[in-house]
Amino acid sequence: MTRLLAKNIFIHMKLFMREKASVFWSYAFPMFLIFVFGTVFGGNNSSPISMGVGVADADQSMFSRILIDSALTQVPAFRVRTGDLDSLLDDLKNRQGTLVIEIPQGFGDSLRAGHVALRVYYNESNIQYNAVAQGILEVIEYHFAQRMSGLRPPLKFETVAVGNVQVKRSYIDYFLPGLIGISLMSTCLFSIGFMLTSYREKGNLKRLAITPLPKSIFVFSIIIQRYVIILSQAVLLILLAVYVFGAHIVGSYFDGFLFLTLSILTFTSLGFLIGARIAKAETGAGIANFIFFPMMFLSGTFFPVDNLPGFLQPLLKILPLKYAVEGLRKIFMEGASVFSLGTEIAVLAGCGLLFLVISIKIFRWQ
């Protein structure tokens, strides 16, 4: 049985390598993407759409209200909210927001005396901070100085890091997990779904059904072959990102391997679901594209999804790619353990099991 399985895996791998287009889209295209984004964003540059700024106002003076109402809230890119320092810092540790500004008690008196100290908290695991930190401080100073009749008070900003990760980040760190997610999704949806519908259209599945080959061997050989391809994709992308563009991975590679394995199995089940019953290859490709493109842009692969319109937020919570990318991002960027990703694992495992059960229920060989 093992020998038969190995032989089928070899056959599927050989057929895959003969399809030059499949090889290109599986390996060359993801590497091309990481070259493009790595070249443009490989430094400490990032372009967040908007920034969440928490303000803890312990002074409650006229001057602190001027700072908040007439300076911070007037910056279009800022989403300002006030609250107590502890709750704002807890949100920041969970990457809900970019900065927290603490206005200490006596801020107004210090301003009158000519010395102003503002403490700014940031989470270094939040990729948005690297590009906006200096800009946000300059904007605060500039707008507040304008409000103070053009006088430029000697503002002093004391930056304080929160969280456990203490490395400088670039956009490539943020983009790498997203690209791995796109690669595994595209390989599973198009390679498996399109292959099964093409086999069915050509009558190959019907002929396989009457051969002595166990159906389980056929299925598992496809799963293992795609697993090897996607895993090799991820390894190549990680090596390229780390050694060419200086990406930082602070988490365990073993945890990343375990979580990536679960993600691959989930999207493999989705690929089987697409190809379970459809008779025409063109129809299968259309359905795969219908699933692929919305999920690619709405799952946080390229940019944070917190800035998307409110009516889209409920949809985002049911996209399995979102949880796959978030899990990889937490492992790679924050050093999270795979056992701490309860929500991500539950969603991916649940989706994978659901897709598999439906696939088995509706699958047909002809």
- Strands (E) in 124-194, as ranges, are 155-162
The count of domains in the chain is 2
Task: Choose the final residue of a domain: 162, 196, 227.
Answer: 162
Span 57-91, pLDDT tens digits? 888 888 788 778 877 777 777 788 888 888 888 88
Q: pLDDT category, 318, cuts 50, 70, 90?
A: confident
Q: Say how far apart CA 70 and CA 120 lie, in whole Å.
A: 19
Q: What are residue 44's phi and psi, to 5 degrees?
A: -95, 40
Q: pLDDT category, 154, cuts 50, 70, 90?
A: low
pLDDT score of 283 = 75
Angle (nearest 5°) at CA 106 between 103 and 108: 85
pLDDT score of 290 = 80
- Strands (E) in 124-231, as ranges, are 155-162
| Mean pLDDT estimate for the chain | 76
Mean pLDDT of 288-308: 77
pLDDT score of 132 = 57
pLDDT score of 45 = 45
Task: Choose the final residue of a domain: 126, 141, 162.
Answer: 162
Greater confidence, 124 or 236?
236
Query: Would you call 353 helix, strand, or coil by DSSP?
Result: helix
List the helix and strand counts (H, then E) for the chain.
16, 5
Residue 350 clears pLDDT 90, i.e. is over it: yes
Q: Say how far apart CA 51 and CA 81 lie, in whole Å.
A: 11
Q: Does one domain contain both 11 and 95?
A: no
pLDDT score of 53 = 85
pLDDT score of 200 = 81
Q: Does one domain contain both 138 and 214?
A: no
Task: Choose the final residue of a domain: 141, 162, 183.
Answer: 162
pLDDT score of 40 = 44
Span 267-283, pLDDT tens digits? 988 888 888 777 777 77
Q: Does one domain contain both 66 and 203?
A: no
How many Å from the N-terminal Cα to the C-terminal Cα in the chain? 25
Q: Does one domain contain both 313 and 355?
A: yes
Residue 165 clears pLDDT 50, i.e. is over it: no
Q: pLDDT category, 184, cuts 50, 70, 90?
A: confident
Span 96-143, pLDDT tens digits? 777 888 888 888 777 777 667 788 887 766 655 545 556 666 666 665
pLDDT score of 9 = 73
Q: pLDDT category, 212, cuts 50, 70, 90?
A: confident
Residue 11 clears pLDDT 60, i.e. is over it: yes
Mean pLDDT of 197-217: 78
Angle (nearest 5°) at CA 302 between 299 and 27: 95
Q: Does one domain contain both 119 and 195?
A: no
Q: Does one domain contain both 105 and 238?
A: no
Token output for 258: 């375990």
Q: Does one domain contain both 27 and 58?
A: no
Q: What are residue 110's phi and psi, to 5 degrees?
A: -65, -35
pLDDT score of 259 = 94
Range of the domain at 28: 2-43+170-362
Q: Does one domain contain both 227 and 336?
A: yes
Name the β-bridge partners of 117: 156
Residue 258 clears pLDDT 80, i.e. is over it: yes
Query: Would you call 117 helix, strand, or coil by DSSP?
Result: strand
